[in-house]
Structure 1
């Protein structure tokens, strides 16, 4: 899992490099860009992902205490909050397109789509991983002594959160 997380961080480091090069060459577009996006959507993503990560941390804690049913309930909560991310993304993209924020809307919007859709892919992978961990938890594959799969998943999910916490201010707040 650590190799996968390292690859994910490396991938996003390269994408952030693209962001900063584009920002350096088009400072006006990046200064005006955040006002074009929906701060409500960006805040919604942030709250949903952080709450999902909080639930995953509680699921891991419950499993360490041998409370697999409680762990599974926390994982269901984590999945529900995590699933809100692509749902909000769907509404945001529809709003963006209705307001002319498509591939022709300039370098800021193209860079935003580049980073945020790559992040969305990682969220989808995480949601699939969460379903797998939920299935393993429900079938008794984890207990207080052996839950390395749940722990590995939690590391991935938190890495995905941390990456979002870098994307959010760059696109929604900093002008």
Structure 2
């Protein structure tokens, strides 16, 4: 996986990765991406995808799709839009998160959420490094924005999203 290789992280049940990859390719094709790249990771139940579509629009279209055509989404559990991918290194993660967090209006709140797999880095260390750089009020319960840090071994996907900008089949189905 090279840093520009994905802008979506997709979760599925363990053992369903290849079926879910085909499902995701079909869905992205229907949405207008003729050649999405979907890869299984070394992490069970986790796929990454690179689509030419806006990853935030993909999430919104999935929410519509599960309402209108729920049978198309059988194995995909969550779809997370990713804005930037960096090497898994606390400083690089904090730099990217700081850049992306410029979208957060001054009077809005945020929370840092770290989901980590296959790394020795501590969540606390990442959260402290990121939060120290963002000059906005923190709200852990009901933030306006989430600075999402998805550590996948040697690479980390980062997004600054509103709480409703992740697709979850269980919440929307």
Same fold (TM over 0.5): no
Bigger strand fraction? 2
TM, length-normalised to structure 1 = 0.26
Q: Please say which structure displays the higher CA radius of gyration.
A: 1
More helix by share: 1
Which protein, 1 or 2, shows the higher relative CO under an 8 Å CA cutoff with sep ≥ 6? 1
